[in-house]
């Protein structure tokens, strides 16, 4: 942990005309403990003498924030990656620090309740999906963001819930989280270029009666895939042979990971990659920070510092 006097000296060096000096100071400040960010915010509010110094300090603060969130995502993955909402809340905090896990839960609960009112105990799997499709895509108007597909907000779940639009994986995440709250066993399929879902049923989930209570099914799929679902086209349903046809059209091998459900960690990594590509496409500085978060998430302690 850096001493306050050292922090003050490094901040003052951010205004040095010599690039070697201010870049060295910036790199050292970027390794500050997350708990010490308040000190940097204090200098940001009342302690910078030039626009260059202010911008460099802002970049330093963002670098530390992203590094901290990347470490939290890594801890989540290493602990089993069970709570997908928590991980998605962390990703939202990259750009919207005020967003909480509870806020996302509340948005999802509104959707769950609307679907629950339409459910009853003897529904078939197709009937359950038909109801979910109606609630999400017709009643609430969720849709694919065809006008601005690469926009970074399509990777932040709270913005998808607010704007009612997103990309294939963000719409699938909303769909899965609502479905699993109703004990409907829908899981992600990490298909390249177009994320989809699978309805996975086993001896436990095909007889579940407590669909009106909290989530009871496992976060890991374990059972027979009955069919696949495409959230980006309004919840269209198709079978394995049709999926194989899609793979052939995309000139992809029939790899197990393109057909079988993926983990929550796979989903988070896919979202991070989408976010990186979005920022890279826009030539935004955030691309560098997200790239480092991806490195932390994939490599753990071996990842380079931001």
Residue 78 CA to residue 150 CA, distance in Å, equals: 29
pLDDT, position 223: 83
Q: What is the pLDDT along the chain (306 residues), one digit of tens a residue?
A: 889 999 999 999 999 999 999 999 999 998 899 999 999 999 988 877 788 999 999 999 999 999 999 999 999 999 999 999 999 999 999 999 999 999 999 999 999 999 999 998 789 999 999 999 999 999 999 999 999 999 999 999 999 999 999 999 999 999 999 999 999 999 999 999 899 999 998 755 655 555 544 445 666 777 899 999 999 999 999 999 999 999 999 999 999 999 999 999 999 999 999 999 999 999 999 999 999 999 999 998 554 444
pLDDT, position 39: 92
pLDDT, position 302: 52
Residue 263 CA to residue 28 CA, distance in Å, equals: 36
Residue 232 CA to residue 124 CA, distance in Å, equals: 23
pLDDT, position 288: 93
pLDDT, position 1: 81
Mapping DSSP to helix (H, G, I), strand (E, B) and coil, where does residue 306 land? coil
Q: Long-range contact list for 127-133, CB < 8 A, 24+ apart?
A: 128/179, 128/182, 128/184, 129/184, 129/186, 129/199, 129/229, 129/235, 129/237, 132/175, 132/178, 132/179, 132/182, 132/184, 132/235, 133/234, 133/235
Which single residue is written with the structure tokens 């000296």? 9
Cβ(217)–Cβ(185) under 8 Å? yes
Residues, the chain = 306
Tell me the residue ranges of DSSP E strands in the chain.
Answer: 143-144, 165-166, 186-189, 196-201, 224-230, 236-238
């Amino acid at each position: 942990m850096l001493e306050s006097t050292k922090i003050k000296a490094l901040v003052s060096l951010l205004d040095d005309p010599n690039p070697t000096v201010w870049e060295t100071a910036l790199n050292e400040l970027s390794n500050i403990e997350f708990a010490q960010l308040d000190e940097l915010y204090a200098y940001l509010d009342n302690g910078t003498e030039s626009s260059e110094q202010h911008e460099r300090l802002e970049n330093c603060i963002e670098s530390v924030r992203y590094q901290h969130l990347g470490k939290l995502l890594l801890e989540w993955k290493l602990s089993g990656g069970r709570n997908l909402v928590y991980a998605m809340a962390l990703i939202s905090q990259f750009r919207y620090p005020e967003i909480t896990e509870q806020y996302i839960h509340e948005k999802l609960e509104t959707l769950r309740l609307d679907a629950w009112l339409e459910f009853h105990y003897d529904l078939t799997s197709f009937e359950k999906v038909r109801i979910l499709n109606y609630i999400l895509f017709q009643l609430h108007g969720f849709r694919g963001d065809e006008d601005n597909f690469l926009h970074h907000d399509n990777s932040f779940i709270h913005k998808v819930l607010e704007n009612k639009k997103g990309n294939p994986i963000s719409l699938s995440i909303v769909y899965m989280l609502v479905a699993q709250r109703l004990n409907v066993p829908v899981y992600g399929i990490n298909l390249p270029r177009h994320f989809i879902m699978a309805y996975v049923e086993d001896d436990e989930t095909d007889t579940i009666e407590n669909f009106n209570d909290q989530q009871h099914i496992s976060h890991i799929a374990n059972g027979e895939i009955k069919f696949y679902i495409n959230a980006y086209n309004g919840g269209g349903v198709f079978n394995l042979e049709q999926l194989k046809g899609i793979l052939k059209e995309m000139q992809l091998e029939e790899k197990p990971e393109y057909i079988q459900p993926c983990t929550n960690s796979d989903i988070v990594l896919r979202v991070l990659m989408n976010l990186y590509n979005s920022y890279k496409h826009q030539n935004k500085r955030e691309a560098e920070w997200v790239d480092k978060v991806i490195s932390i998430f994939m490599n753990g302690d071996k990842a380079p510092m931001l």
